[in-house]
Amino acid sequence: MSDFEEKMLYYASPALLGRKQANLFSFPICRLTDYRKEIETYRKELSPLGVSVEYLYSRQQRVYLLIYRKDMLLQYLRQPAVKAFLIQEGYPTEVGEEASFDACLCTLRQHILEGNDFPHEIGFFFGYPPEDVFAFIREKGFAAY
């Protein structure tokens, strides 16, 4: 088993198994050249199974890949409160629709790159309960216990 495959299985197994809609994992940017071919191979092999492997962004010498199940993710993003919030944050008005999915990922990527940290709405993409994401946003990242 390759190093890339081992990391993908370890960090993205919930999405690979269909238990979560998405997982994020990273690796050192210096390994991108080594991993590029494997990423493309897995992208092709997993696609018929409903799993996508997508470059999300790179920062601080790391590359971040999003492993996701588009059908689960789209269904989640169609929730009225989630959709309304994302539109308010600059996401396409067709959030949750197949036609706007790439634009949604581009907007998420832009929000990540504009900030110093993950934008709180990333929790929606990972399938966290909407009420938890909204509480996290309301409390500005602090637990409200």
pLDDT surpasses 80 at 144:
no
What mean pLDDT is reported for the chain? 92
- Prediction pTM value: 0.89
Least confident of 1-10, 67-76, 124-133, 136-145: 136-145
Tokens read off for 125 = 């993409």
Q: What is the set of domains in the chain, with CATH numbers?
A: 1-68 (3.10.28), 75-145 (no CATH)
Q: Using one digit for the tens of pLDDT, what is the confidence trace for 83-109?
A: 999 999 999 999 989 999 999 999 999
Token pair 């949750």 is found at: 96
Segment (H or E) for 108: helix 101-114
> How far is CA 114 from each of CA 76, 109, 121, rounded to the nearest angstrom?
25, 9, 14
